[in-house]
Copies of this chain bind each other. A is one copy, B any other.
Amino acid sequence: MEERPLIYIMGVSGSGKSTVGTALAEALGLPFYDGDDFHPQSNLAKMASGTPLTDEDRWGWLEKIHTHAQNEVLKKGAVIACSALKQSYRAVLSKGISNISWVYLEGSFTQIKTRMEKRKGHFMPPALLQSQFDSLEAPPNAYTLSIDHSVAEMVAQLTPLFLKKTDFGLLGLGVMGKGLARNLAHNGQTLSLYNRHLAGVEENIAKDFQAAHPEFKEALAFDSLAPFVNSIAEPRKILLMVPAGNTVDEVIEALIPLLSPGDIVIDGGNSHYKATLARSKRLENQKLHYFGMGVSGGEEGALNGPSLMVGGDKNSYPLIQNTLEAIAAKDKDGKGCCSYIGTDGSGHFVKMVHNGIEYAEMQLLAELTSLLKAQGKSYDEMAHLLESWQKRDNSYLLEITTEILKTKEENTPLVDKILDKAGNKGTGNWTAIASAQLGLPSTMITAALYARYTSFFKGVRVSAEQQFSAVQKKSVDIRPEALFNAFRFARLINHYQGFRIIHTASKANHWEIDFSNLARTWTKGCIIQSDLMQELVSALTETEDLLTHPDLIKEVNQLYPDAQNTVALGITASLDLPCFTAAVQYLIAHSTANSSANIIQAQRDYFGAHTYQRTDDPTGQFYHTQWKK
């Protein structure tokens, strides 16, 4: 990209240089400087006393502005207001700068004088105006604008001359937005950056952020939405990184009148997939393209390579594909961990399930520490054990849990200082609800969610432990290898349940998700990246139903006895292992050909005449019995 323009707004005092300059800078996404701010105190005093400056007074001042322009803003561009009345002054300011442009605000003595008389608090008394007109040498090479025009007219006339449109817009500069913006810039995208202006709360966020990072030297920064949108090359690509919920709708409604047909809006927040579906339709009606993009990897992932799950219009995906793949984490073959998932809400749906899987993986690790504690292990011993597992079957969550167990504060384990009240931001809840709505028994995600809920009632638990003396925690003795097997078993069931939710939703919504490629997208950059996920990439090319894969069936059979025994021991020892228990219980239910649901059907038919099907009628016809004699 070429250099940004350095634009001087010149003219006599009172011609409106600051006003026009500020507005022009806002429209161009460039910083604005007022030349008057560079005057030494002596000059200011002189002008205030009504004494005209001499050229001697001016050389130092002009040199200061010139140095600032050369050092600070030469590459980034800027708008600078400076009277620059004589050619000799302008020569100082232009020295060695090629990308300079002059804008001259032209007005007659009478026009300016009338204006000046209306102004208060300005340091230059109107009496000095005549000396300015005496000095004025009209520039031959400037864009000359009559001050008869409104500021808006002048800005509208100038903007197209100087605006170099950017590749990509990023709206919303919170932690994740900032990370992704820098990541985009590192990958060669020139950006328009925008953050809302909230007086006294959020001001100049975009400009300050731009100024703080050299990778943004070619970026434009905005506090106003319209120039932000105008600054992006069409078809525009705008990534929203604002909080999920109403804010997204507000931003969309503000954007729609500013966008052009074919523009692309990407929601990179944790929106609910049903909201994304509704917004897709809303924007489609406006001939705009909407993508709901799941982003995993937290702050670090956003900056260095997240996992990206993109849902939206397949035909316009190629317009953003290369950019998104470039900023994504790289899988083992160097390919971006970014995938087109399916239409409308599919990207946010799989991100939601990702978080559901994450909930259960975290809970299993937490329960592991309970099991190890019940064996009398110290945190260091636990960390040592988990570290050894990393060599066999690693995952990001295993790694960080190992680190956590090792972390000390003044020589005592930090985890002992952490209150056992777990928070949640909603996606686990959403996944459990989506599963219930799809008719799927996602027992592990739900168990993990409910474990967090139970943890929330700390006071209740403390007094209940006193009251329910029958619930006595006992020590258990489980071989480390059996524990490893139980953990692996539970993780397999958890991943099965997670992919099953996605599979069912994909069928129901006609998303046609490529499950293997989704697993690949989750091998790096995201929270649930693991060796197991890498294994699933190939398993999912062979089957869409993991528990029908011969290798996995074999492994599950091998692991089950240790998992079963661990859970039975846990219950006997009154240990709180909801997620391990759910895993074992699930495989039992899954493998029970003849369940007790016949009793449920008989009850339903008895009291509600809900009818039932029969084992001896394969047509699936429904029957009702008059149970009461």
> Would you give the 0/1 interface string for A416-453, flagging 1 where the beta carbon is closer than 8 Å to chain B?
11111111010001001100110111110011011111
Nearest-CB distance from A273 to chain B (Å)?
16
Is A553 on the interface with B (CB-CB < 8 A)? Answer: yes
Give the docked Cα–Cα distance between A418 and B605 (Å). 11
- Measured between C-beta atoms, what is the minimum distance from A176 to chain B in Å? 10
- Given A419-B601, A421-B601, A627-B407, decide whether A556 and B468 contact each other with a Cβ distance below 8 A: yes
A612 close to B (CB within 8 Å): yes
In contact, A603 and B439 (Cβ under 8 angstroms): no
Check: A201 CB closer than 8 A to any chain B CB: no
Asked if A315 CB lies within 8 Å of chain B CBs, one says no
A86 within 8 A of B: no
- Is A564 part of the contact surface with B, judged by Cβ < 8 Å? yes
Contacts of A547 in B (CB 8 A): 464, 467
**Among B400, B422, B429, B465, which residue has its beta carbon within 8 angstroms of that of A592?**
B465
Minimum Cβ distance to chain B for residue A604 (Å): 7
Per-position binary interface string of chain A over residues 400-422, scored 1 when its CB falls under 8 Å from any chain B CB and 0 otherwise: 11011001000000111111111
Contact, CB under 8 Å: B468 / A449: no
**Alpha-carbon gap, A412 to B57, bound state (A):** 114
Report the minimum CB–CB distance from A447 to chain B (whole Å): 8
Pair A576/B596 contact, Cβ less than 8 Å: yes
A511 to chain B, nearest CB (A): 21
A571/B593 in contact, CB under 8 A: no
Interface residues on A, range: 35 or more
- Residue in A365, A553, A602 whose Cβ sees the most chain B Cβ within 10 Å: A602
A597 interface neighbour in B422, B446, B561, B610, Cβ under 8 Å: B422
Interface centre among A460, A593, A608 (most CB of B within 10 A): A593
Are B556 and A576 touching (Cβ within 8 A)?
no
Provide the A560-603 mask, 1 if CB < 8 A to any CB of B, else 0.
11001101100110111110010011011111111111111111
A524 to chain B, nearest CB (A): 14
Nearest CB to that of A574 among chain B residues? B588
Copies in the complex: 2
A420 adjacent to B468 (CB under 8 Å): no
Q: Are B595 and A576 in contact (CB under 8 A)?
A: yes
Are A452 and B615 touching (Cβ within 8 A)?
no
A455 at the interface (CB under 8 A from B): yes
Residues of B within 8 A of A367 (CB): 596
**Which residues of B sit under 8 angstroms from A152, Cβ to Cβ?**
none
* CB-based contact A455/B599 at 8 Å: no
State in angstroms the CA–CA spacing of A80 and B323 once bound together. Answer: 83
Give the distance to chain B from A398, nearest Cβ to Cβ, in Å. 11
Known: A593-B461, A601-B422. A587 touches B553 (CB 8 A): no
Whether a CB of chain B sits under 8 angstroms from the CB of A369 is yes
Contacts A465-B591, A589-B578: A369 and B599 contacting too (C-beta < 8 A)?
A: yes
Please state if B401 and A597 are interface contacts (CB–CB under 8 Å): no
Evaluate contact between B597 and A575: CB separation under 8 angstroms: no
Residues in B whose Cβ lies below 8 Å from that of A423? 601, 604, 610
A314 in contact (CB, < 8 A)? no
Interchain CB contact (< 8 A) of A571 among B414, B449, B584, B609: B584
Residues of B within 8 A of A463 (CB): 548
Q: Are B465 and A436 in contact (CB under 8 A)?
A: no
Q: Tell me whether A453 and B439 are in contact in the complex, defined as CB-CB below 8 angstroms, given that A367-B596, A422-B597, A601-B420 are known contacts.
A: yes
The answer to whether A603 and B400 touch across the interface, beta carbons within 8 angstroms, is: yes
Whether A299 is near chain B, meaning CB under 8 Å from some CB there, is yes
CB distance from A528 to the nearest CB of B (A): 11
Nearest-CB residue, chain B, relative to A448? B600
CB of A375 closer than 8 Å to a CB of B? no
Query: Is A363 at the interface (CB under 8 A from chain B)?
Result: yes
Q: A1 — which chain B residues lie within 8 A by C-beta?
A: none
A598 to B456, Cβ gap below 8 A?
no
Q: Is the CB of B436 within 8 A of A432?
A: yes
Tell me if B614 and A417 are in contact (CB < 8 A). Answer: yes
Contacts of A571 in B (CB 8 A): 564, 567-568, 571, 581, 584-585, 588
Tell me the bound Cα distance from A470 to B557 in angstroms. Answer: 5
Please provide the chain A residues from 354 to 394 with a CB less than 8 Å away from any CB of chain B in the complex: 362-363, 365-367, 369-370
Known interface pairs A419-B612, A587-B471; A597-B366 also in contact (CB < 8 Å)? yes
CB distance from A300 to the nearest CB of B (A): 8
CA distance A366 to B25 in the complex (A): 74
A-B contact pairs, 24 of them (CB 8 A): A362-B600, A369-B596, A370-B595, A397-B603, A401-B602, A403-B628, A407-B602, A418-B601, A418-B615, A419-B613, A421-B601, A423-B604, A439-B453, A439-B456, A441-B453, A452-B600, A460-B590, A464-B590, A465-B593, A470-B556, A470-B557, A471-B592, A527-B607, A571-B588
Question: Shortest 9 CB-CB distances between A and B: which pairs?
Answer: A455-B597, A441-B450, A366-B596, A366-B599, A465-B593, A420-B597, A470-B560, A419-B613, A470-B557
**A-B contact sample (4 more), CB < 8 A, given A299-B609, A401-B602, A419-B615:** A362-B600, A429-B436, A443-B578, A461-B589
Residues in chain A within 8 A of chain B (CB atoms): 175, 298-299, 362-363, 365-367, 369-370, 396-397, 400-401, 403-404, 407, 414-423, 425, 429, 432-433, 436-437, 439-443, 446-447, 449-456, 460-465, 467-471, 473, 527, 547-548, 553, 556-558, 560-561, 564-565, 567-568, 571-572, 574-578, 581, 584-585, 587-604, 606-610, 612-616, 625, 627-628
